[in-house]
Amino acid sequence: MDREDILIYIYQAKNLQVVKLVIKESTDGVAVELVGDMEESQLEEINSAVRWMLALDEDFTEFYALTNHEPKLQQVEKKAQGRLLRSPNLFEDIVKTILTTNTSWSGTIRMTAALVEQFGDPFHGSNNEYAFPAPDRIARSDEQTLREVTRLGYRAPYILQLSQEVSSGSLDLNAYKSSEMEPDQVHSQLLSIKGIGNYAAANLMMLLGYYDYLTIDSWALKMVSQEFFNGDQISPQDVKDVFERWGKWKGLVYWLWNWSDTK
């Protein structure tokens, strides 16, 4: 098996124990090797976390039936695409999403690595492997440290406030994963989080399994313009109109569209 077929994640359990998860494809689906000490009672927690991370409980039968009629999506079912990799918890995904705003991908990687190394608990016996920090660890810091030491820039107060609200219990992110909340309500709640705008909220909705939201940025405007409008200037509404016919799957259709021939 190639190295790229293996996902390695440093996971911190609810009892604060830090272990390494080595996740790879197997003939029966997914195999997980657990490196480190873990209590028997924590194994169900790990199982649940991995199922969430890989979206193993989602059913894409309807989606695949739709994509089979579109040449630009014919690779989707064959490659079993559709499941978006996500973090074990929404807090981590929100923090990482905020760190993607107004920066390059290398900048996002740098800020995330700094946050993890500064506030995360290490995997035993390792000097360079850390679990993503729990909200309370970041909440005990301050804006100046996050700005000047972690170098999060203008994002520092957003990350700090989010961490403090989650840590105190005033913001329950697990509620966003509940089927009792309507998608529009979840979307509205996400937009109320400081640092989360329309693009970030749409990205998070996709990670939560709501695929009728489009992540529209300058790249999307460029690619959709060239693919459908002969390179003419378009608006975000034009992007929405193009994919509207795909209904509740339109965000995933856009995400998996074969843009290779688009220049």
Q: What is the mean pLDDT of residues 184-188?
A: 94
d(CA 135, CA 171): 11
d(CA 204, CA 93): 7
86-144 tens-digit pLDDT: 999 999 999 999 999 999 999 999 999 999 999 999 998 778 899 999 999 999 999 99
d(CA 155, CA 200): 13
Angle of the 198-207 helix axis to the 90-98 helix axis, nearest 10: 150
Name, in order, each residue with C-beta under 8 angstroms of 11's C-beta and a sequence gap of 6 or more: 18, 19, 20, 21, 46, 49, 88, 131
Kindly tell me the sign of the dihedral angle through the C-alpha atoms of 18, 177, 7, 213. Answer: negative
Quick check: 4 pLDDT over 70? no
16-73 tens-digit pLDDT: 899 999 999 888 788 999 898 888 878 899 999 999 999 999 999 999 999 999 999 9
Give the other-Cβ count within 10 Å of 244's Cβ.
11
Cα–chain-centroid distance for residue 175?
17
Say which DSSP state 79 is in: T
Query: Is the pTM here over 0.85, yes or no?
Result: yes
Show the domains of the chain with their CATH numbers.
3-57 (no CATH), 90-207 (1.10.340.30), 218-256 (no CATH)
Name, in order, each residue with C-beta under 8 angstroms of 62's C-beta and a sequence gap of 6 or more: 249
d(CA 116, CA 138): 10
